[in-house]
Amino acid sequence: MWEYFPKGRGEASMMSTQSAVSRPERYQDPHLEVDFARASALLDTRRMVLTRKEYELLSLLVQNAGEIIPREALLWRIWGYSTQIRTRTLDVHIRRLRKKLGGYSEQYIETIFGIGYRFQPYRPQRSLQDYSVPAVA
């Protein structure tokens, strides 16, 4: 859950209400690896060439995998934009990030219309054989 917390004279701060548990140093699955300590990402063992903002966006999404992050929270955390600013910056960066993720983009970054975005960890595709139905006697 993301909430806004007042921070002095008119400034706003946005923080996750999750407990302050230390974050892992790395995310890794069969296709994507994000090293938070080195600020680098690999896709299928190839280094991804990301701008600073693209990396910050990917990192924030990955560190909060499975959690819906509202647009306002992303705009504040990555760009420092207040909620009153209307901008397409986030959409442009998500589009560029998806392009760089190639065929995995729809698997990893989910748009929650009217709310924000969610990073979904990689799940291999299941075949119908994985859903076998027990035989009836």
Q: What is the pLDDT of residue 123?
A: 82
**CATH architecture for residues 2-123:** Orthogonal Bundle (1.10)
Q: What is the pLDDT of residue 129?
A: 63
Q: What is the pLDDT of residue 130?
A: 58
Please, are residues 30 and 43 in contact by the beta-carbon 8 Å criterion? no
- What are the residue ranges in the chain where pLDDT is below 70? 1-23, 83-85, 126-137
Q: What is the pLDDT of residue 96?
A: 96
- Give per-residue pLDDT as tens, 33-71: 999 999 999 999 999 999 999 999 999 999 999 999 999
**Is the sign of the CA dihedral 102, 30, 59, 50 positive or negative?**
negative
H helix intervals, 64-121: 71-74, 89-101, 105-108
pTM of the model as a whole: 0.74
Q: What is the pLDDT of residue 112?
A: 95
Q: What is the pLDDT of residue 1?
A: 44
Q: What is the pLDDT of residue 28?
A: 94
